[in-house]
Amino acid sequence: MPAGQPPIFALAALAVAAATAASLPGETDPYYPQFHVRPEQNWINDPNGPMYDARHDKYHLWMQYNPHGRTWGNMSWYHTISDDLVYFKRLGVSLRNAEAYDIGGVFSGSA
């Protein structure tokens, strides 16, 4: 290989990384999780605030969510509800980082 040229595997790795970053899997993707609580697309993280609402007989689950991409960032809370903890209804983003004091994200925990 001539000096100054990158190895072919490095170019292949860059091509795969670029293709992966450009694609946004959704429910039509055969490898997208089918048996987990998940949003339609994008990145999720820690489950937060699981609770049972006895008055309405519903389970609630929130999770950290990036509504803008498949990587960490723009931390918001995504909300789902269930009657049986098997089938979940997606309610979308319920807390978002919209104010100057939480521009880095809406997180669980306290200082």
Reduce the DSSP state of residue 43 to 3 states and report it: strand
Helix, strand, coil shares, percent, the chain, to 5: 15, 35, 50
- pTM value is 0.67
How confident is the model at residue 26, as a pLDDT?
A: 63
First CA to last CA across the chain, in angstroms?
Answer: 55
Q: What is the pLDDT of residues 13-61, one digit of tens each?
A: 544 444 444 455 566 777 766 677 888 888 888 888 899 999 999 999 9
Q: Which residue has the higher pLDDT, 111 or 61?
A: 61
- C-alpha pair distances (Å), 70 with each of 1, 22, 29: 36, 10, 14
How confident is the model at residue 7, as a pLDDT?
A: 57
> Catalytic positions, please?
46
Residue 81 confidence (pLDDT) above 50:
yes
